[in-house]
Amino acid sequence: MVTSVAPMVTSVAPRVESLASSGIQSIPKEYIRSQEELTSVGNVFEEEKKEEGPQVPTIDLKEIESEDPQVRERCRQELKKAATDWGVMHLVNHGISDELIQRVKKAGQKFFELPIEEKEKFANDQVSGKIQGYGSKLANNASGQLEWEDYFFHLIFPEDKRDLSIWPKIPSDYTEVTSEYARELRRLASKILSALSICLGLEEGRLEKEVGGMEELLLQMKINYYPTCPQPELALGVEAHTDVSALTFILHNMVPGLQLFYEGKWVTAKCVPNSIIMHIGDTIEILSNGKYKSILHRGLVNKEKVRISWAVFCEPPKEKIILKPLPELVSETEPPLFPPRTFDQHLQHKLFKKTQDGLSN
């Protein structure tokens, strides 16, 4: 009897990139998802071409601060409808230059083009709690399943909370470009939070204040690198989840992969040029007492093209703020849908629930 021996043992989780480039024809069992999860996992390029059925809305922000109150209000109402109905949207005319966005993408791409041993110099150590840096997912659910992706994770704003020592040194403009993007994105987050507040009948600065304001709202960037996969119909780049953030902003390299669970079906997001995808996260869903939605989503992979996305999670501080539905949005007919929790308690609650779900499957 011949027993197969693993070719090498590493102290870190094997990088998905090295698995993908090793020439394997079938993926290791820990990457194979359950039958239930694989419902409607099809060819993502075919899925993206579909014109029938619901489509993720595109919101034009050009007039969000228009001098004309009627024009401004129309723009806000469109944003409100997308946040209420979908909780995700393509933002166009968002005010961040395409030139800067291309530079951000190029810098991240250059880092991931480095040999794996170079990237390992920036490896995180999740077990010891050092979560910033280069990594791959460790199994954090009872089923022990893994996702078909590697990533680079780091806090990019406020600037005084960054740890630049773990940021990529190659390419040389990485820090400059990413810092500029973080500042622009922070401005955009304020603009969005302001409009979302007004649409709930609150003061303009209310939601921003509730998530920590300029000093405390953290912007965490995760560059997701999804290598090509020999059996994309069995794997997921990212399993189904909702974001815990207040808002999430996503760029990608125009390779489809994002799917949203809308009205009981998985809908594949189109690749919209010069857009930023924005998710409403759990934090805003809680504060708005469920008026704004945090939508379940996942990432598919494919055989032909590497997919890269740049997700920036705008998160409140872990302990300082109690997240609960705002009193103005609660009444006898609309009781609070969520119990009071800190952001950290909300995270732990989700993790615990996921573990329980894994054990019961």
Residues that are catalytic: 222, 241, 243, 297
C-beta atoms surrounding 55 within 10 Å: 16
Q: Do the beta carbons of residue 27 and residue 236 sit within 8 Å?
A: no
Which tokens hold the place of 26?
Answer: 């079938």
What Å distances lie between residue 204 and 162, 186, 284, CA to CA? 28, 16, 15
- Three-state SS sequence of the chain: CCCCCCCCCCCCCCCHHHHHCCCCCCCCHHHCCCCCCCCCCCCHHHHHHCCCCCCCCEEECCCCCCCCHHHHHHHHHHHHHHHHHCCEEEEECCCCCHHHHHHHHHHHHHHHHCCHHHHHHHECEHHHCECCEEEECCCCCCCCCCCCCEEEEEEEECHHHCCHHHCCCCCCCHHHHHHHHHHHHHHHHHHHHHHHHHHCCCCCCHHHHHCCHHHHCEEEEEEEEECCCCCCCCCCCEEEECCCCCEEEEEECCCCCEEEEECCEEEECCCCCCCEEEEECHHHHHHCCCCCCCCCEEECCCCCCCEEEEEEEEECCCCCCEECCCHHHCCCCCCCCCCCEEHHHHHHHHHHHHHHHHHHC
